Amino acid sequence: MKKILCINHSCSLHGAERVFLAGIRACLSAGCGIWVAVPSGARDDGLLHELEPLVGKDHILRLPYKSAGGSLFRTLLVRLYNLPAVWRLSRFIRRQSMDCIYSNTSVTIAGVQTARWTGLEHFWHFHESVTPLSGWTPALQTTYRQWIARTRTTLLFISQRQRREWEEALGCRPQGHLIYNPVCLMSGKQPPVRHTALRIGYIGRFVPLKNIPLLVEAFLRFRKRHPDSELWLCGALDEREKTEWERRCGSGHGIRILLQTDDAESFYRQMDILALPSLRETMPLVTIEAMSAGVCVIQTTQSGMSELYEDGEDCLFVAPEHAEDWENAFEACADQAFRTRLARNGQTKTLQYAFNRQFETKIKELICVS
């Protein structure tokens, strides 16, 4: 039985954590023994609830370590802060005779630090784009290159575009593999909720990277010609954030703010269009989920999704810089025939991709067998 130490950067339950869980399930199905490290200072926002029945409480290690990023100075401080946890992880690895380390996200450096101390093979799953909004700064190039060069580290990327970005940022071509993320496919069998107004939706976190103010601006411009249209923004963490965004968007403009939900399928069923105007993405799962549910999708050009879908056939790709471009995209998709064609094509292509099977197969081949 291969023994694997899996390390995550948080206790939240967003896209990267769901991929992390899928990787753990793949390894467990291959007969591997799994132990998981999470930062003890992080509030549990759902990850532990999923992990405990999966691997057992006694296989979860809560240790004091932090994520890198933001600046070189901060990352150096984090390296020092992490040393006690790295020492404990190294002792645990030797005591358990573990075989490899799997780190989730590019800012999770406790894994590569531990790999240097133990000499274990290290698989490092990068989910982020190369952007300051994800913690990257060019000053980190030398540090990351040294970590990769001085350990038996293999990088895992989630799109070809992202891989090229990281290779350019690092100034080298490290050993790495492309694995498209697994996807929670929607059934698409339930009929959409009937409503009169054209309804545009966003689902995700309310963070600067997602570019929500531009989406609001584009919608308000579009609504001048389509006064019955609506914009639903789903993802507020709590009532305080919900109230803050309601204040920012104002009343009487057809904008509705919703709390985050675990029932994304019900949200998609109520939308005519799913919009994602992010400044940068790698492989945005919400757009794939929405397409699998048969929803027309308009998404940012700043992602790797153009590797999988064709603009104007399966969805629309719009650059995130200009509100008028998004307004025009909304106008094009206001035409029901055009919107229906995009939704149908997007759904057909999405269901043809075997995202989950390919992810499980590659994880097993790389981590469990190699």
State the pLDDT at residue 312. Answer: 97
Which DSSP state fits 359? H
- Report how far residue 236's alpha carbon sits from residue 66's, in angstroms, rounded to the nearest whole number: 25
On whether both 247 and 294 belong to a single domain, the answer is yes
Assess if residue 224 is contained within a domain: yes
- Report how far residue 334's alpha carbon sits from residue 331's, in angstroms, rounded to the nearest whole number: 5
Which pLDDT tens digit goes with each residue over 258-308?
A: 999 988 999 999 999 999 999 988 888 899 999 999 999 999 999 989 999
On whether both 233 and 252 belong to a single domain, the answer is yes
Which pLDDT tens digit goes with each residue over 131-161?
A: 898 899 999 999 999 999 999 999 999 999 9
Residues contacting residue 274 through CB under 8 Å, at least 6 positions apart:
200, 201, 202, 203, 268, 286, 287, 290, 295, 296, 297, 298
Give the mean pLDDT of the chain. 94
Label residue 246 exposed, middle or buried (CB < 10 Å: 0-12, 13-18, 19+). middle
Assess if residue 164 is contained within a domain: yes
Which pLDDT tens digit goes with each residue over 79-129?
A: 999 999 999 999 999 999 999 999 999 999 999 999 999 999 999 999 998
On whether both 244 and 268 belong to a single domain, the answer is yes
pLDDT at 370 over 70: no
Assess if residue 26 is contained within a domain: yes
State the pLDDT at residue 190. Answer: 64
Q: Where do the H-state alpha helices sit in 9-153?
A: 15-29, 47-55, 72-96, 110-118, 141-149
On whether both 310 and 220 belong to a single domain, the answer is yes
On whether both 18 and 85 belong to a single domain, the answer is yes
Q: What 3-state class would DSSP assign to 356? A: helix
On whether both 167 and 213 belong to a single domain, the answer is no
**Which residues partner with 276 through β-bridges?**
299
Assess if residue 344 is contained within a domain: yes
Assess if residue 188 is contained within a domain: no
On whether both 129 and 223 belong to a single domain, the answer is no
Cα-based distances in Å from 103 to 8, 11, 116, 218, 259: 6, 14, 13, 39, 30
As a whole number, mean pLDDT of residues 172-190 equals 84
On whether both 364 and 348 belong to a single domain, the answer is no
Assess if residue 193 is contained within a domain: no
On whether both 312 and 170 belong to a single domain, the answer is no
On whether both 280 and 167 belong to a single domain, the answer is no
Quote the number of domains for the chain: 2
Residues contacting residue 277 through CB under 8 Å, at least 6 positions apart:
210, 211, 212, 214, 215, 218, 299, 300, 318, 320, 326
pLDDT at 347 over 80: yes
- Residue 8 near residue 17, CB atoms below 8 Å: yes
- Relative orientation angle of helices 47-55 and 15-29, to the nearest 10 degrees: 0
On whether both 273 and 139 belong to a single domain, the answer is no
State the pLDDT at residue 187. Answer: 63
Cα-based distances in Å from 136 to 14, 139, 168: 19, 8, 13
On whether both 63 and 111 belong to a single domain, the answer is yes
Assess if residue 168 is contained within a domain: yes
Cα-based distances in Å from 225 to 111, 212, 347, 366: 53, 21, 29, 53
- Residue 84 near residue 51, CB atoms below 8 Å: no
Which DSSP state fits 197? S
Q: Percentage of residues in the chain with pLDDT exceeding 90?
A: 84
Assess if residue 194 is contained within a domain: no
CATH of the domain at 75: 3.40.50.2000
Q: The domain containing residue 69 runs over which residues?
A: 3-180+355-369
Cα-based distances in Å from 143 to 125, 137, 158, 206, 239: 17, 11, 22, 31, 40
